[in-house]
Structure 1
Amino acid sequence: MIRTLALILTFQLAGEITSRGLGLPLPGPVVGLIALVLACILRPALAEAIRPTTTGLLSHLSLFFVPAGVGIVAHWDLLRDQGLGLAVALMGSTLLAIAAGAWAFTAVARLTGSEEREALRDQGRE
Structure 2
Amino acid sequence: MPLIMGMSVLLSCQFLGELVARGLILPVPGPVIGMVILLVGLMIRGKVPDSLRMTGEGLLRYLTLLFVPAGVGLMVHVELIGLDLWPILVTLVVSTAVTLGVTGWLLERLNRRQGGRP
TM-score (norm 1): 0.68
Deviations 1:35-71 (A, max 9, x none): 2223234446862121111101111111111111121
- Structure possessing the higher radius of gyration over alpha carbons: 1
Q: Which runs of 5+ in 1 are unaligned?
A: none
Q: If each structure's helix is expressed as a fraction of its own residues, which one has the higher value?
A: 1
Greater relative contact order (Cα < 8 A, sep 6+): 2
Aligned equivalent of 2:59: 57
Amino acid at match of 1:27: P
Code of the aligned partner of 1:79: I
Any idea what SS the aligned residue of 1:53 has?
helix
Paired-residue identity, %: 33
Paired position in structure 1 for 2:100: 98
Separation in 2 of the partners of 1:78 and 1:40?
A: 42
Counterpart of 1:85?
87
Deviations 1:69-99 (A, max 9, x none): 1210120111233324322321122113323
Q: Is the 8 A contact 2:20 2:33 kept in 1?
A: yes
CA RMSD of aligned residues (A): 3.1
CA contact (8 A) 1:12 1:32 kept: yes
Distance in 2 (alpha carbons) for counterparts of 1:31 and 1:73 = 31
Unaligned regions of 5+ residues in structure 2, if any?
none
Q: Which consecutive aligned stretches of 4+ in structure 1 deviate over 6 angstroms post-superposition?
A: none
The count of residues paired between Structure 1 and Structure 2 equals: 114
d(CA) in 2 for partners of 1:6, 1:118: 41
Q: Distance in 2 between matches of 1:33 and 1:95?
A: 25
- Seen in structure 2, the aligned counterparts of structure 1 residues 50 and 82 have a Cα distance that, compared at 3 Å, is same
- In the superposition, the TM-score normalised over structure 2's length comes to 0.72
- Which letter maps to 2:52? I
**Counterpart amino acid of residue 68 in structure 1:** A
